[in-house]
Structure formats: C-alpha cells, structure tokens
C-alpha cells in the first residue's frame, strides 16, 4: 500500500494519515524506537541479545510481530517528537528545522505527533523579527496545527531590561505589549489543545519592570487562550511577576517554583480556589500564607477541587503553616499532601485535615518527634482508614533531630500506628535494618502493607529476607543492595542454598517485584545475587525492576549463576525472572 500523502496548504491543516508507516521516520527517531523496544523485547520474551538494530529495514519486520510492539513503538515515537525553536535540544530529541525552506515533507508528516513545543531564547530574540516570528508566521500561513501538543515550555534567558514602551498598567496597550500578545497567541494557535505552560524566567530585579510585565503578559495571554496549568520556575531569586489575577480564572494546576516570589501565585491560587486541582507552592513569608487562604480579604477560601497540595515553607513560622493545614475546611477533598518545613511542632498541634479522602502523606523529617507522630494516632482514633501511603524522610538539614528522637519508645509506638494505617511505607535513609525490623515485627497490623521504599539505606540478603518475613503482604520492595561477601561473612548459612530454601520456603507468597536503585556501591552482580536468593524462597517473585542499561549484564549474571553447581538445582525458580517496565 502506498504511503499516504499529507496535503499542506493555506486552508488545510496537517491530517494524521490513516495508517502509520515507518518509511518517513528520521533516523534519530528510529534509534529512539530501537532503544525502547530492546528493553521491551527482553521483558516480553526473556530473550537477550547484543545485536543492535540500526536500520529501518530491520526495524519494520520486528514491529510486525505483535500489536503490543506497534503500540509501544508509536508511544516511543510520540514521546521523541519535540518542536524546538532553539536548535539546542539533546540528541535524543528531534529538532525540526526552523526555517520554512529547510522543512522536507517527511518532517511535516511528523508534526501531528509532536507533544511538546520548546522555545529557549532571550527576550529580545522572541520580540525581534527573527526566527521565531518568521517560523510561526509561516506555520500559521500554511494552517499547520499540532493536534497532539499538550505542553508549552518557554525558557526565557537572562537579559537586561527591555525598552518596549510598556505602560505601568497592564490594561493599556503599547507596541511592545502587542508583540508579546501576538507571540503568545501564535503559540496557542499552533497547539490548540495545549493545556500546560512551563515558564522558566530569568532573574529579575527591582529595576526591570518591563520584564516583569512581559512574563505576566505571556502567562495571562496564554491562560486566556485556554491554558489550564501554569508552572513557573526561576534559577535565581526574583521579585514578583506582574500578574493580572482577576483575568486568570478556571485554572486547574499551579506550580510556583523555588526562587519565584510567592505572593502573586498565592493570590492566583485563592482566585481559582473552586477549580484548582493541584497546587505546588513555595511559601516564603507568613503574609504569603494569608494571601493563599484569605486573598487579601477576610473570607477564608475553600479549595473544593484541590486533591494534591505540595508546600515548601522555608521562612514561615510553623504556626502559620500548620494553622492553615490543620483547618479541615479549606481542603475538603485533599488526596495528597506533601509538606517540606524545617520547623518543629508544638505539643498541642495535631494534624486533622480531612482523613476521609487522604491517601498519600509526606511530612517533614523533624515531624518524627513524638508530638508530630501523635497526628497519626489521631487519624486512627477518628476512624480514618483510607490512607495507604506514608512517606517519612529527611527534609533539609534535620538529620540531627531524628537521631535524637529515634531511640524514644513513644516514637516507635507512634510509628506502629503509621504502619497500621498504610499500604505503602517510605522509610528514611538512616533507619537501620535492625530497628526497622524490630518495629515492624512488634506492630500487630502490618499484614496490609503492600509497598515499601527503603530510601538509600543498603540492605543485604538477610535484611531483605527478614523484611519479607515480617511483612507477609508485601508485594514490592525498593532498596539498595549490599555486597554478598559482607552478607556471607555475617551469615554463613546463606551460602548453602539448600539449607536456605529449607529454612524459608515458602516465604511471602504475594511478593512479586524487586526494584533496585543501581549506584556505584551496588554492582549488577550483587543485585543478581539478592534477586536469585529471593527467587529461591518466594514462589511468586517474578520481576526485577532495573535500569535499561544494566539489564543485559544482569541477564548474563543470571545465566552464569545457573551454570554453577549451587544454583543449578533451583534453575526453574530463577529462569523465569523477567524485567518489569
């Protein structure tokens, strides 16, 4: 069947071809697909090969094997396509030529797959008559649209203040404002289905009023054109962006990154309290909190749709932070709460929130003090049983506070309450194997704990086995693994696999997935060693989640071990290990 053609004219937009073919794929995309499918190939069929596919002629027959492969290839291609106006993308991304005369038909054919538009330039370049305006104008004249594009990324590089003729008020139009508005509208017309704007702004000082207006005008124009998610970041501290908050409504996602002044975004969140679903905010002063929940008025906002709240409070007294969070009224449907706060908590402060909907909680490291852990005791006594994920870990520089509190009996007692209420547990990096296992073993209700993340703490075979023994309902475990030599020296019994299996089998019939963080401290050989020991005693263990670049070496280690006498009797238990995506 001939390759479908794509008609491009002033009155017709690019239409997705009825059948997807690979004849017009640029080679960078082919390499991306191959890399994706090599990992998928091993996972699906447990076949390991060192052959590298480098041509479309080899790729096409492979893609005809199954519908799953074709779908995986298409997803990989879509994720690889980036319309980049900067010519500085990473090599794994596809850079479309910036000038109309350089655009071949094969590239136009790919435009309907683009999911992300990336613009990185100085403010002067965006507002000049150079590459951006020319390319956008040409794309517009050819009625080109990118129907799959959902994300706009604008990286504004640092620049001196521009003399654009801006007025002091956003409500007055000048020549400079007109250029900015037209640029934003052209981007939105190019990607009519785009929903999220990620804006990286330069450092702006008090003298650069025009730059503040420019950033605010870009945000306002794109939001008025249909953008629902605004995410703003800055590399260095910057003064507030000028935002016309009243004109920005019905937003669902707001991210105010580090170094971005909080005030305007707190007021923006307050103004969108009824529609906001996700808020990631860096609170820098008590006044910012008041802007968030009161919006400069005496009326307390209720975030009726907010289900994900991430707070970083760096310079706010804890009373201001937790007084807001403790009040259940503003967040009636909150599902996930993450708080990064270096301050401790008072004896009389209890986390109430709305436990009927809360399922994920991450609290500050210093909140592991006995009074803060009392919050979870309140959760349990009030009948809250929906929470299935708790993360406790170091925040900022609070390690010393945890060392002081860790040996306290009331703290361990409160930790048991967390284990009772949770289906997932994320353990701090400096929690030792022994103290963790002791806590779990003495907790009466840990059978429902399904997922555990042990952070960066190194665990050996026996430590993992002890955890699987203490947690009979565990399905997945994420950890670092240690040297087998150290483990054998401390526990010589594990070197005899027959004795090892006789002692532990069957262990934890639900356990299926081992996720391993690979670092310089844990080699692939060590990972394979731990995985094989688990496979010998856990009948349901089937998947190893390992980075793609280490899977070939892991498979070689498994094959080498099965050829050795100690592991040979257990080959059937080990051979079925597969990679999990």
Residue boundaries of the structural domains of the chain: 22-113, 115-267, 457-581
Which whole number is the average pLDDT over 268-277?
90
How far is it, in rounded angstroms, from Cα 48 to Cα 45? 9
How far is it, in rounded angstroms, from Cα 203 to Cα 156? 10
How far is it, in rounded angstroms, from Cα 361 to Cα 393? 11
Taking only the tens place, the pLDDT of each residue in 83-96 is 766 543 333 344 44
Show the tokens assigned to 428.
């701090």
Q: State yes or no: pLDDT of 311 exceeds 50.
A: yes
When pLDDT is cut at 50, 70 and 90, the band that residue 176 belongs to is low
Ranges 27-31, 46-50, 343-347, 479-483: which has the least confidence: 46-50
Q: How high is the pLDDT of residue 75? A: 66
Q: State yes or no: pLDDT of 178 exceeds 60.
A: yes
Non-local (6+) Cβ contacts of 540 within 8 A are 508, 509, 510, 511, 512
Q: State yes or no: pLDDT of 275 exceeds 90.
A: yes
Q: State yes or no: pLDDT of 426 exceeds 50.
A: no
Q: How high is the pLDDT of residue 368? A: 37
Neighbouring C-beta atoms of residue 476, cutoff 10 Å: 18
Q: State yes or no: pLDDT of 377 exceeds 50.
A: no
When pLDDT is cut at 50, 70 and 90, the band that residue 427 belongs to is very low
Q: State yes or no: pLDDT of 150 exceeds 80.
A: yes
Which whole number is the average pLDDT over 540-553?
72
Q: State yes or no: pLDDT of 366 exceeds 90.
A: no
SS3 label, residue 146: coil
Q: Which of 228, 334, 323 is nearest to 283 (CA)?
A: 323
SS3 label, residue 454: strand
Which whole number is the average pLDDT over 154-165?
58
Q: How high is the pLDDT of residue 24? A: 56
Query: Which helix (H) or strand (E) element contains residue 453?
Result: strand 451-459
Q: How high is the pLDDT of residue 229? A: 94
Question: Which span out of 42-56, 179-193, 263-277, 329-343 was modeled with the highest average pLDDT?
Answer: 263-277
SS3 label, residue 280: strand
Q: State yes or no: pLDDT of 264 exceeds 80.
A: yes
How far is it, in rounded angstroms, from Cα 435 to Cα 427? 11
Question: Which span out of 1-5, 9-13, 516-520 was modeled with the highest average pLDDT?
Answer: 516-520
Non-local (6+) Cβ contacts of 437 within 8 A are 463, 466, 467, 470
When pLDDT is cut at 50, 70 and 90, the band that residue 67 belongs to is low
The pairing of strands 513-516 and 476-481 is parallel
Question: Which span out of 273-287, 294-308, 326-340 was modeled with the highest average pLDDT?
Answer: 273-287
Q: How high is the pLDDT of residue 64? A: 61
What is the full DSSP assignment across 192-260?
TT--EEEEEEPP--TT-HHHHHHHHHHHHHHHHTT--EEEEEESS--PPP---GGG--S--EEEE-TTS
Neighbouring C-beta atoms of residue 322, cutoff 10 Å: 23
Q: State yes or no: pLDDT of 81 exceeds 90.
A: no
Q: Please, what is the Cα angle at 577 between 575 and 578, to 5 degrees?
A: 130
Considering the chain, what percentage of its residues have pLDDT values greater than 90? Answer: 4
Alpha carbon distances (Å) from 514 to 89, 478, 540: 34, 6, 12
Q: How high is the pLDDT of residue 278? A: 93
Q: 84 pairs with which residues across the strands?
A: 118
Q: How high is the pLDDT of residue 365? A: 40
Q: How high is the pLDDT of residue 463? A: 73
Return contacts of 416-420, CB within 8 angstroms, 24+ apart: 416/442, 416/443, 416/444, 417/373, 417/376, 417/377, 417/379, 417/380, 418/373, 418/376, 418/390, 418/392, 419/443, 419/445, 419/446, 419/449, 420/380, 420/444, 420/445, 420/446
Q: State yes or no: pLDDT of 394 exceeds 60.
A: no
Question: Which span out of 121-130, 162-171, 518-527 was modeled with the highest average pLDDT?
Answer: 518-527
Taking only the tens place, the pLDDT of each residue in 339-353 is 666 544 333 333 444
Q: How high is the pLDDT of residue 251? A: 93
Q: Where is pLDDT greater, at 442 or 217?
A: 217
Q: How high is the pLDDT of residue 242? A: 76
The pLDDT mean for the chain works out to 62
Q: State yes or no: pLDDT of 15 exceeds 70.
A: no
How far is it, in rounded angstroms, from Cα 10 to Cα 351? 60
Taking only the tens place, the pLDDT of each residue in 440-449 is 554 444 555 6
Q: State yes or no: pLDDT of 195 exceeds 70.
A: yes
Q: Where is pLDDT greater, at 99 or 336?
A: 336
Show the tokens assigned to 503.
């002692």
Check if the beta carbon of residue 359 is closer than 8 Å to that of residue 333: no
Q: State yes or no: pLDDT of 227 exceeds 70.
A: yes
How far is it, in rounded angstroms, from Cα 209 to Cα 146? 34
Which whole number is the average pLDDT over 472-492?
63
Q: Which of 394, 464, 476, 387 is nearest to 428 (CA)?
A: 394
Q: How high is the pLDDT of residue 510? A: 74
Check if the beta carbon of residue 304 is closer than 8 Å to that of residue 280: no
Which whole number is the average pLDDT over 472-499?
62
Please count the helices (runs of H) and the strands (runs of E) in the chain. 21, 18
Q: Where is pLDDT greater, at 296 or 311?
A: 311
Q: How high is the pLDDT of residue 252? A: 94
How far is it, in rounded angstroms, from Cα 125 to Cα 112? 27
Q: How high is the pLDDT of residue 296? A: 67
Which whole number is the average pLDDT over 397-401?
27
SS3 label, residue 519: coil
What is the full DSSP assignment across 64-102?
TS-HHHHHHHHHHHHHHEEEESSS---TTSEEPPSSGGG
Q: How high is the pLDDT of residue 231? A: 92
Q: State yes or no: pLDDT of 98 exceeds 90.
A: no
Q: Cis peptide before 301, with omega less than 30 degrees from 0?
A: no
Which whole number is the average pLDDT over 148-156?
85
CA 189 distance to own-chain centroid: 28
Please tell me the pTM assigned to this model. 0.62
Q: How high is the pLDDT of residue 349? A: 32
How far is it, in rounded angstroms, from Cα 69 to Cα 39? 11
SS3 label, residue 165: coil
């Amino acid at each position: 069947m001939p390759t479908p053609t794509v008609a491009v004219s002033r009155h017709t937009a690019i239409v997705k071809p009825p059948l997807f073919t690979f004849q017009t794929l640029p080679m960078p995309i082919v390499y991306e697909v191959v890399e994706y499918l090599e990992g998928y190939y091993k996972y699906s069929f447990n076949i390991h090969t060192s052959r590298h596919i480098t041509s479309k002629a080899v790729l096409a027959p492979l893609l005809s094997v199954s519908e799953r492969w074709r779908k995986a290839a298409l997803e990989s291609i879509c994720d690889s396509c980036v319309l980049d106006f900067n010519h500085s993308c990473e090599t794994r991304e596809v850079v479309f030529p910036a000038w109309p005369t350089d655009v071949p038909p094969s590239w136009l054919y790919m435009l309907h797959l683009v999911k992300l538009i990336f613009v990185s330039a100085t403010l002067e370049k965006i507002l000049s008559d150079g590459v951006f305006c020319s390319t956008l104008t040409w794309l517009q004249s050819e009625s080109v649209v990118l129907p799959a594009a959902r994300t706009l990324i604008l990286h504004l590089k640092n620049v001196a203040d521009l003399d654009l003729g801006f007025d002091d008020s956003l409500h007055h139009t000048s020549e400079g404002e007109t250029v900015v508005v037209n640029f934003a509208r052209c981007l939105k017309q190019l990607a009519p289905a785009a929903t999220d704007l990620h804006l990286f702004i330069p450092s702006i000082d008090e003298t650069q009023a025009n730059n503040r207006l420019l950033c605010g005008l870009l945000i306002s124009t794109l939001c008025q054109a249909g953008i629902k998610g605004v995410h703003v970041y800055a590399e260095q501290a910057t003064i507030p962006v000028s935002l016309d908050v009243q004109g920005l409504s019905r937003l669902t996602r707001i991210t105010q990154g580090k170094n971005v002044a909080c005030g305007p975004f707190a007021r923006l969140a307050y103004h969108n309290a009824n529609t906001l679903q996700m808020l990631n905010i860096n609170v820098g002063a008590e006044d910012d909190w008041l802007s968030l929940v009161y919006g400069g008025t005496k009326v307390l906002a209720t975030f009726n749709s907010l289900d994900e709240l991430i707070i970083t409070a760096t310079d706010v007294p804890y009373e201001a932070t937790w007084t807001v969070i403790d009040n259940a009224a503003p967040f009636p449907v909150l599902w996930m709460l993450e708080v990064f706060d270096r301050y401790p908590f008072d004896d009389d402060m209890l986390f109430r929130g709305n436990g009927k909907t809360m399922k994920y909680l991450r609290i500050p490291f210093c909140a592991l003090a006995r009074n803060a852990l009392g919050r979870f005791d309140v959760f349990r006594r009030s009948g809250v049983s929906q929470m299935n994920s708790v993360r406790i870990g170091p925040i900022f520089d609070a390690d010393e506070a945890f060392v002081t509190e860790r040996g306290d009996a009331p703290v361990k007692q409160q930790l048991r309450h967390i284990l009772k209420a949770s289906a997932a547990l994320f353990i701090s990096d400096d929690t030792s194997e022994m103290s963790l296992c002791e806590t779990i073993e003495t907790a009466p209700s840990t059978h429902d704990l399904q997922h555990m993340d042990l952070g960066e703490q190194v665990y050996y075979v026996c430590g993992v086995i002890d955890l699987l023994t203490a947690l009979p309902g565990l399905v997945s475990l994420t950890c670092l693994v240690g040297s087998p030599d150290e483990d054998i020296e401390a526990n010589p019994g594990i070197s005899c696999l027959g004795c090892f299996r006789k002692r532990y089998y069957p262990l934890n019939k639900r356990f299926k997935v081992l996720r391993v963080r690979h670092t310089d401290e844990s080699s692939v050989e060590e990972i394979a060693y731990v995985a094989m020991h688990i496979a010998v005693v856990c009948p349901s263990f089937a998947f190893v989640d390992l980075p793609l670049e280490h899977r070939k070496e892991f498979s070689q280690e498994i094959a080498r071990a099965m050829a050795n006498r100690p592991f040979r009797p257990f080959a059937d238990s080990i051979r079925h290990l597969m990679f999990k995506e």
